[in-house]
Structure 1
Amino acid sequence: MFAKAFRVKSNTAIKGSDRRKLRADVTAAFPTLGTDQVSELIPGKEELNVVKLYAHKGEALTVYTRGGNPILFELERNLYPTVYTLWSFPDLLPTFTTWPLVLEKLVRGADLMLPGVVVPPTGLPQVQQGDLCAIALVGNRAPVAVGVAAMSTAQMLAAGLKGKGFSVLHTYQDHLWKSGDKSSPPAIAPLAVNSTDSNEEKVDLGLQGNLSCLTLEGEEEDRKVHCAEASEDTSSGAQSQDSWDGKPLQEQMDELLHWCFLHALKSRVKRADLPLLTSTLLGSHMFSCCPEGQQLDIKKSSYKKLSKFLQHMQQEQIVQVKELSKGVESIVAVDWRHPRKGSTLEGSEVRRIIIDYAKKNNLVDADNRNLVTLDPILCGCILEKNEQHVVTKLPWECLLTRCLQSMQPAYQVTFPGQEPILKRGKLCLIDITLAQKAYNKKVTVVRNLETYGLDPCAVAAILQLRCQASTIVSPAPGAKDSLQVQIQGNQIHHLGQLLLEEYRLPGKYIQGLEKAPKPGKK
């Protein structure tokens, strides 16, 4: 509604009687506000103005301003709070969350579509169609937009979070916001969630705040090879479940369940065994495929029951399950050609596969359990041609490192409610550099923002306001479909604050922060 400039018809001070009526209207429109809060919003003595205007599409609106900032606007006798008001009362409206890069589209007049809505661990707020709602960015409860729900929460979930979710009326950075003091949203921490579901921490690189729900599964993590771990496993014949890269027990059990299931299909179940009772698959095949020192317990997995897990495998079109007799399920078909090749593996999975393979085939050296004898399969996987007849044994550390190095690196980006995005190659760091321009002037250049779900244009707009410096967004040299942001001067300090403190990116994924100006120097 305010994506384009509006035309002001009149701007007058509010009368005493109108002030009292406005206070009564606010109380009726927003019953969650207490008397003191209403008095704070509509004070008795501070100057209030009534602005009559026409939006760019011709709608007639009334805007109420206090201290120069718009605090409320009225359309067809309905009152709506502005973002300035919501920053003082962030819990005034049911709040839905979206990503920072979506904000730019909302500012340009777009409505918020449901695929852009982030589902928090506590679930979506309960609203009805037509309810007034606030929209915030992940990691900050300060609303950045006001809109009307296009459907109820139940309808949103029934639609699979597809379609239009909210008709957006007003946003941070639109022309109504610009009519005020143009201040930025305050940092309001998300409400604490007491959750016992540790599965939320899966492969979490510490991306909280504005990227709290973003997980990056990078090849750097996969390449962590611990010789001590491998030696301990082979020498003692045991591997603690809590030692799998420190992952939550439920996630460990999910991985072990998938591993035992696929291993059983590949090495134990034959076509002649079908139809095969699901209880027989578990008791006679999957349990026996469990790596030594580990114990498969389906109740500790996220599936809880074998039937639920097999339903998932049936959805993946790996097996077909039928109830051949009442209450008894059997596997009646297996897709032996199911495309498992090319799927991703984490470093811990690769290590577990190699260790299990070496032990099962008696490749661990009897005299020195830190060495592994290379059979023809391992030789073909990791040895160069000139090493084929020379190298016969390798230490665990060298074997695991070579196996990982022979695999193609990849990383995965996952946004809630969306399919994971898998990309080949190494995970690029956000690269910050200083460049020298004419007349000894410096500029700050930042690249690879898109990899972490950040919109370069949105980042440039924020930095332009904070640094009070010109910014340029241009194609990054040598990088296809990638943009770089250039800011006048050495702005690494501001850039670091934005990335580390607001977007909460771990510092290990950013290079160049050390080039920030020293305190006391410009």
Structure 2
Amino acid sequence: MFKKPLSNLKTSAPLRSSDRRKLKQRIVAAYGLTGEEGDALVPDGILSLKFSTHINEPGVAYIGPNGDPLWFTIGKASEDLIPTVYTLWKKEDLLPFLSTPAAVIPILIGGADLMIPGVMHCPPSLREHQLVAIRQYVTIGDRPALSPPVVIGRMALPSDQLRSPAKEKGKAVLVVHAWKDFLFDMGSKTDLPPETILTTSSAQEHEDDPVERDEEGETATSPPPSEKPPSPTPEPVEAPTSVSYTAGEVTELLNKALLQVISTTLKSLPSSSFPIPATLLYTNHILPSRPAFPTLVISPASWPEHLSSGTDAPHIDTDITIKTSSHKSLTTFLKAAEKNNLLTLKSPQKQQPDVLVTLVNASHPDVIQHTPFVTVKDLELKAAKKTAREEKEKESQSSRELEIKELWKPHQSTVELFEGMGGNKSDLLSAVQIRSLLNSYIAANNLVNVNDQAYINLDELLYSCLSAKSKGKGKAKDVDSEELSKFMKRDELTKTIIAKMQSWHAIRAEGKDPVTKKGSLAPIQVVMKVRQGRKASTLISGFEPFLVIDAEEMAEDLRKACAGSTSVSPIPGKTAGYGLEVLVQGKQSGAVVEYLTTKGIPKKWIEVADLSGKR
């Protein structure tokens, strides 16, 4: 049904409270849910989205606040509300399920229907066309388990006919929706939840049936013999959350670490690297080579053997060190290794009080037969690489940030001032450059007030500039010549001169031609307002000068990110061509700011205002 992209997508809209309650009541009645379960599966803020399938069937999807599709209908007058896999992961028993071998699932996801030979387990008394889920039968270690629901479909025939001799072939389930199809991809694409371990009675219900495939490749295939489910095992014991090792088990783990380091780093060292002091061998080689997941290497006596794989790693209460081993000292441990012909030692001397390791035996049978494992050092290196990658991504993000400069040009009365200070009337200057020119002029003409060095004495050039009247509209307020004294604070002087200059700005973005324009640059406005009496919306405007934002693209990206409707229109009350305004349904300032910053807009140039008031 959704093996190809959806078309004719309409703008999604939040359901009114009354419509949401009606939807919840329908689902509660259809699936026999409690009110609390209904609230969880039909949450506040749910949206509706109309679409068409690739075969032009109309449908409606109901999307959760986080963007995950939760329910859908297919057909013009369909009353059936079908849950998505996102919903079934919240409540796995919402639909009866059939199981099939793991090798079949990729074919179902590709758009094939489930064939009768592919059914391993099916509940009795299922009706034709009844909605069902499909779960994959897997093994974790030697234990049978079931995945969460990964496919949703309708029974192609009643379940009591599946084992009929006349029904050895044919379709069992007609697939409607599957994990990783285009409906699923509309959501957050959450990872598949963990499998459920089967009890003995549940495992016995699953039959070891082969699955066939037709010549056209449109049906599910059977797994090779090696992938057939094993015989049921006894009901597993719950895994403990922490375990302890005995002294003998710690010694065995350290021996494994020694074999690991001999078979990897030590055997490739040149002979000039020896001898190695025992303490350096221990701290720099053996300790980093300890198993990162000890229970996968040696199962402690306190942990049931059948839990040694396939479960979450428990917390290890015992330090895997020489002190907790049966040897208690490093020298004793190494002498035992020497006795086993794994290495050669040299006794301590007066000049060298530490035992020396002069040779390692990489051809020892235990070294050759050693099975490598993930070490503590491997995890540390992986973590370091992840940190470095994240830092690199941050630097890359920083490098994508727009370079925005506020500039000023000498204008009217400031032209004579800057020429007198040694500047050029055609230069575009930053605030730092203006301050530097002014400070140099003040120092060269000894204009610092001797009584209060925070003040600057105004000479004729400065006084003339400050007292001159500005021409034109939109200029800064002039200083009244009657109120203007012969001295002024340095910061106030700088600000007043900048206010009399002509504003410019320059923007440089990666992959774009740099732009330098007259006029000050206004921040992007992100305003939340209540529209149409009660609906809150977020309006974005003033983004055009920043080069990297396209209105239509932003509207589409925010529609997906916010799971709400968006639109693009001219700014109300402004002349044509003044600029565009993007509307996002709901209070979405956080998502909008995040989107703008990922595009390289510095937060300094984003202004957020909430004019929606209390609702």
TM-score range, shorter chain: 0.3 to 0.5
Greater RCO (Cα-Cα under 8 Å, separation 6 or more):
1
Is the radius of gyration larger for structure 1 or structure 2? 2
Task: Give the TM-score normalised by the residue count of structure 1.
Answer: 0.39
